[in-house]
Amino acid sequence: MSQLRQERSRPLMLSKRACVFYLERVRVVLKDDRIVYLTENSQPVEYFYNIPEKNTAFLLLGKGSSLTDAAARRLAESNVMVGFCGSGGSPLFSSLDLTFLAPQSEYRPTEYMQIWMRAWLDDDARLLMAKILLLERIALVSESWKKNFDLIQYGIHIDENALNTFKQDIDRSENQQELLAAEGRWAKTLYKQLAKGFGVEFIRDEGKNSHDTIADIANSYLDHGNYIAYGYAAVALNGMGISFALPILHGKTRRGGLVFDLADLVKDAFVMPIAFTCAAKGLNQKEFRMQLIETCQDKDILDYMFGFITDICSKIK
């Protein structure tokens, strides 16, 4: 019977996993050979809720949460990324492996890490990788915004002049600092288009944690959504066996910089528009989170990230 149970409970491929969890004020434990969590309440009967770890990509644990060593061991065996974060999903506090509590399996592939490391040590190759990343961001955000019904309804679209200017800046840049400056101008353009379309005065203010205005709510949702994007990026990099500490754009010294690099693909295309849309519609944080996760699942974001990493490694090999 135990052998049959083991055969039936094989983990899914990381790129095919559907579940992402953000939990607050819970205790995550291993009970009856299952990962479960129970919420804080004063009732005499405790209610346990199952976490399907074999089909879970990553787990974010918010304020007031705890994790037993047995549960951590089982999550690691199932290759689930775990991150401890603040209330509302940010900031991210954990960790053993720079950004997330990563399963320390020795059976991940080595070829991608070797390719990445060789390129990362070469300034020209690293610059090429950064340019490939930014051009991919442009392609993805252009495609996704054109198909976003809410943005179309509010008359929001990509500024073609700014897009062409960004492409030219990428092509002319001779180092990471110039690329980062061009990226900053591009991000401001996207925020400007969203703010104009939704009729709000907006300034990006990370960690403000205020809900006084629509702009404040959008800022809060952006913080929250960004950490979900970091989770997807961390899962993809962990699955490919590439260290988070080898960024191509965010600098050699930034902790977990490669997670931030890869997550930017999702942030521009999906986190930004969904954050503004949910804030404008008066949706709460849970509704925003569910809409973002459902969108990422519909778009097969994990599959996309695995494919992008494979593709960029083939170009710099």
Per-residue pLDDT tens digits for 71-81: 888 888 888 88
Looking at residues 184-213, what average pLDDT do you find? 85
For CA atoms 256, 267, 221, 59, the dihedral sign is: negative
- DSSP lists the bridge partners of residue 126 as none
Nearest to 258 by CA among 109, 97, 42, 103: 97
Examine the pLDDT at 141 and tell me if it is beyond 90. Answer: yes
- Output the pLDDT for position 243: 85
Looking at residues 114-118, what average pLDDT do you find? 92
- 177-189 pLDDT, tens digit each: 999 999 999 999 9
Q: How far apart are CA 307 and CA 291, in angstroms?
A: 24
The confidence band for 308, taking pLDDT boundaries of 50, 70 and 90, is: very high
| Amino acid, single-letter form, for residue 15 | S
Q: Quick one: angle between helices 111-120 and 301-316, nearest 10?
A: 60
Burial class (CB in 10 A: 0-12, 13-18, 19+), 167: middle
Select the more confidently predicted residue: 149 or 9.
Answer: 149
- Output the pLDDT for position 304: 93
Nearest to 72 by CA among 51, 93, 55, 49: 51
Q: Which of 47-56, 100-109, 216-225 has the lowest mean pLDDT?
A: 100-109
The confidence band for 98, taking pLDDT boundaries of 50, 70 and 90, is: very low
- Output the pLDDT for position 6: 46
Select the more confidently predicted residue: 221 or 245.
Answer: 221
Examine the pLDDT at 3 and tell me if it is beyond 60. Answer: no
Looking at residues 48-71, what average pLDDT do you find? 86
- Output the pLDDT for position 1: 40
Nearest to 150 by CA among 273, 46, 10, 288: 273
- Output the pLDDT for position 97: 40
- Output the pLDDT for position 91: 59
Looking at residues 265-274, what average pLDDT do you find? 92
For each of the domains in the chain, give its residue range(s) and CATH number, in order of start. Answer: 2-89 (3.100.10.20), 111-316 (1.20.120.920)
Q: What is the pTM of this model?
A: 0.78
- Output the pLDDT for position 262: 92
The confidence band for 2, taking pLDDT boundaries of 50, 70 and 90, is: very low
Q: How far apart are CA 108 and CA 123, in angstroms?
A: 27
Pairing relationship of beta strands 19-23 and 26-31 according to DSSP bridges:
unpaired
Looking at residues 126-138, what average pLDDT do you find? 94
- Mean pLDDT score of the chain: 84
